[in-house]
A and B are shown apart, each in its own frame.
Chain A
Amino acid sequence: MQYLLLIYEAEAIWESKSEEEKQVVLAGHGALHDRLSADGITFSGEPLMPTTTALSVRKRDGRVQVTDGPFAETKEALAGFYLVDVPDIEAALTYAALIPHSETGTIEVRPLDDHSDLL
């Protein structure tokens, strides 16, 4: 089963961290990568640039509109993600809790729709 682990965190938290504190978080990701590899889990993941760099695209009445965004007025923003292929939801939750940002933000755990209902 594939799960997307979405990392949500207030961007101010990352910015207010010192270089040393950022290194601790990066080391946490490194430890998680080692753990996933040791457990034989297929995974990928990337950090995202701050939301100030984001654009939103909408097509309305055949016309493409580009605006800045995202527009959700939430304090927490999508900061990065992991895609993990795990045996069950319990495993997905375990790995989600190992993401360093689970201590300061929220990890949303979403199963991928594998279209098995269409087969």
Chain B
Amino acid sequence: MSANLDLILRAAHPQVVATLSRVLGDVERAMDATQEAMLRAVQKWPQQGTPEQPVAWLVTVGRNHAIDQLRRDQRSVALPADDPAGDRLHHAGADLLDARDVHEADDEDMLKLLLTCVRPQLGSGAQLALMLKVVVGLSVEEIAQALLATPLSIEKRITRAKRAIADDGYETALEDGDLSVGCDAILKSIYLMFNTGYGRIEESRVEDSALVANALRLARITGRMLRRDSRPRSLLALMLLSAARMPARLDAEGAYVPLHEQDRSRWNKALIQEGTALLHAVFALRHPPYGYQIQAAISALHCRADHAQDTDWVQIVGLYDALEKHDPSPVVAVNRAVAQAFAGATDEALAALEAAAAEKSLAEYQPLYAALGFVQARRGDLAAARLHYERAAALTHNEAHHRYLSRQLSVLP
């Protein structure tokens, strides 16, 4: 399959499944139909050319396949008389779906599908696995790789989750209450999706990463559907401001470039502009501060500085304080300490990092040891810096991080 065809199909996947779930009234059937439509696209498009409306083409082919399938099933097993999915299929067969229907229905369809994937009884691990499988269309192997789990455990998680949603049925009516309850779970899964993609620093642009691009897209849709709620927009701002820095994270030799050394002219200006405008709008609403909003504000302060030395580190430390109060975690403590070091308080930073190092949960957290190495080097304790950088290098499996840490080590005595 050509890279271009693969990209088109990956981009179309969420919309096709969401639309087919509505049309067929069943997520499982929609996934089978999507799979079939994608297979036919791979066979036909290289010769016939890519259709002008790929999503509409895929939806139509998928729906026709589902109707054929249903007719075959009906011949072998009589369906119960009150099968709602069957009824809906007959109706769907009557009216031809055109490209306009697909676009107009798409936001609401997508939100319903997201709500289906984040049923509260599933738990966050299963919610994310299901979202990656159903909405993004990743294979079990790809999900396992993304979530650092074995394919078998992912397979199990998805099977269990699918059974749970099949029992409950596909969400057919959107109630305001469902939305605000489901919102946090949807956003959490979207952010996990984003971070999973963002962690692969060798993917340097938004378009290169199916996970990052899809996370942004889903956050936009959630933001449009939940207009009165600033949570989705806070997350969207945070992700846009982070994604803007993707092109500057690798140097010519393929080594990781930390934020303060990045070539800021390579940051994506359009994403920064949109993320900043969103954040201003969210702040103007004066809702109580929210974790993603504070993180987005930190990101915006970085993006606002034309040079690393212009960064307002004091305010960033203050925002980390607010974040710790709102959502305390050892990872936040590490980031706060790094900001402190940049603000000049290297001894306090060291004390905070050493306290974090005592946390069991951070025993294998590479950024902690990279931060300790950095702070010790700043303080002039080069022997300690070497030990920490060596530990960080031993912990990372990422080639680009490894190159960066090796370089840090090579300049130490």
A-side residues, CB < 8 A to B, are 10-13, 15-16, 18-19, 49-55, 66-69, 71, 75
Residue in A15, A19, A54, A71 whose CB lies within 8 Å of B281? A54
Q: Does B202 contact A (CB under 8 A)?
A: no
| Secondary structure type dominating chain A contacts | mixed
**C-alpha gap A66/B149 in the complex (Å):** 46
Contact B274 A75 (CB under 8 A): no
Q: Does B106 contact A (CB under 8 A)?
A: yes
CB-CB under 8 A for A10 and B104, given A53-B274, A55-B285, A68-B281: yes
Q: Which residue of A lies closest to B104 (CB)?
A: A75
Q: Does B156 contact A (CB under 8 A)?
A: no
**C-alpha gap A50/B216 in the complex (Å):** 13
Q: Report B-chain residues with C-beta under 8 Å of the C-beta of A50.
A: 220, 274
With A16-B11, A71-B227 known, 9 other A-B pairs at CB within 8 A are: A15-B217, A19-B207, A52-B281, A53-B281, A55-B285, A66-B284, A68-B230, A68-B281, A75-B103
Contact A18 B277 (CB under 8 A): no
Q: Report A-chain residues with C-beta under 8 Å of the C-beta of B107.
A: 12, 75
B280 to chain A, nearest CB (A): 8
B224 to chain A, nearest CB (A): 6
Contact A12 B103 (CB under 8 A): yes
- Selected A-B contacts with CB under 8 Å, 11 pairs: A10-B103, A16-B15, A18-B7, A19-B207, A52-B233, A52-B281, A53-B274, A53-B277, A55-B284, A66-B286, A69-B227
Contact A13 B103 (CB under 8 A): yes
CB-CB under 8 A for A12 and B106, given A51-B224, A52-B223, A66-B285: yes
Q: Report B-chain residues with C-beta under 8 Å of the C-beta of A52.
A: 220, 223-224, 233, 236, 278, 281
**C-alpha gap A77/B224 in the complex (Å):** 11
B398 to chain A, nearest CB (A): 26
B285 to chain A, nearest CB (A): 6
Q: Report B-chain residues with C-beta under 8 Å of the C-beta of A68.
A: 227-228, 230, 233, 281, 285
